[in-house]
Structure 1
């Protein structure tokens, strides 16, 4: 499949032939496999990072990644975005306010971020924990709202239903209504795409929470703080560093969530 054909028309999978062994029998079947391509983010002419992800919602990703990485302070800092697909992947030429270049220099990378992680490739341990503004409000968590979102989440995971290979991130209203869904092969990219969409649509992030299908690792909390949400809910496990950061940043953190079950690690 040509990469140029999937940037605009939302194709996210390819059908491939596979030999399947089941109950003592080999058979030929057709399987749907998630499309993954390298996406190079180039700020003001300088290559910053290469991320492996699906070629969908790239504009959302650019805004979300730029915000959660602290490269920009608001969407207005980005002056233009141009997608340039080629046979090797997708190059994204991003023109930002000159003041942002200093921040980009402070987040240098020496390698590709293979899963869309905001930390991979940094050349100094001091760059891992960066300064962020604390969450300045107390989000009121409602167990029924989390349950409702969990119940509705599976039906909205189109990529995962088709391929079984995608993580999802959701923005959920305080009533439990899923307002936005973004999926990707990497959990970090799915979250960045969601955060980019939240800001592009000018949704007040204080009016809801983020739910993800992944674990709650440090950088997922860091991104949620950058999005200015008061609660991050994950379906899998947390890490010690994620819990520590959540406490420092005053964001509520729930993990191992299922319908009728919540482990609240911070808040």
Structure 2
């Protein structure tokens, strides 16, 4: 093999990590824009996507590709939705360290919670589009949950109102066009919190964490998301005790089946004034 065609090993540190992370979740990168026959050099805004490691009592449990914003919310929501803790009060984020290869969130747990966690350790990589990556068994990937106990029923107008308001909380998506959002709404459709991330499941974890850290009752409202509704989305919704999730795009078969089992309403294709109910239809109020 001559020098011109010799293979060169890639740098172990991606270029995006060679500079300090932006606390705004976005950064400027050089780009070339082609318009017709003209080419122009300029800077474009892109979303930050980096490995974020969750370290419990010094032990790396999981690494997710995520946007490095609202990281305390993320650590709390991930810990709750994965069943690592039962309440936000059971964990303490002791440090958020920016390291060469990404970010590490250091978390302390009660002794009994840590012992249970070590029995189900999963320190594999999870991509920004994968919410159940890193599990090493079918049983863990499809971890059963009790049905959601909330008695809430949501009016169609409230679902439409919340979804219509979601873009107003998507600052990073307005800048980059590459970000998912999850919002929590009261039964009347009023949004009370929105979180964004390059990964849809990360956005939902951040939202769940934000609700828990601010003392909002998850049983008293519903979630709207700017994505499809796959299994991990309804699993996290149920784990948080939220009775309904509304998505702008489609559900999956596993999502629908699991949602029926845990009594979580699944509403999809919420757009253009209409939507389709796929699971737990009693969660949606019908006209008298």
Task: Specify whether residues 95 and 110 from structure 1 end up closer, same or farther in structure 2 by C-alpha distance, changes over 3 A only.
Answer: closer
**Where does structure 2 lack aligned partners over 5 or more consecutive residues?**
1-16, 282-288
Confirm whether residue 21 of structure 1 aligns to residue 21 of structure 2: no
Q: What SS is found at the alignment partner of 2:111?
A: coil
Question: What is the aligned length?
Answer: 264
Aligned pair partner of 1:70 in 67, 71, 83:
83
Counterpart secondary structure, 2:173 = helix
Q: Does 1:81 align with 2:82?
A: no
Task: Note if 1:49 corresponds to 2:62.
Answer: yes
TM superposition shift of 1:149? 1.4
Report the equivalent of 1:151: 164
Cα root mean square deviation, aligned: 1.7
**Residue 197 of structure 1: which of 199, 210, 214 is its match?**
210
SS in 1 for 2:72: helix
Larger Rg, first or second structure (1 or 2): 2
Partner of 1:39: 52
Q: Distance in 1 between matches of 2:244 and 2:130?
A: 20
Q: Which deviates further from its counterpart, 165-174 or 255-264?
A: 255-264
Q: Deviations over 1:154-208 (max 9, x none)?
A: 1221000001110000001111111100000000100000000001010011221
Q: Residues 44, 106 of structure 1: CA spacing in aligned structure 2 closer, same or farther, 3 A cutoff?
A: same
Structure 1 unmatched ranges of 5 or more: none
Residues 33-182 of structure 1: matches in 2 within 5 Å? 33-115=46-128, 117-182=130-195
CA distance in 2, matches of 1:43, 1:110: 11
1:246 aligns with 2:262: no
Whether contact under 8 Å (1:3, 1:86) holds in the other structure is: no
Q: Is the 8 A contact 1:213 1:236 kept in 2?
A: yes
Residue by residue over 1:207-247, the C-alpha shift from the partner in whole angstroms, topping out at 9 and shown as x without a partner, is 21000001110010000001111110011110000000000
TM-score by length of 1: 0.93
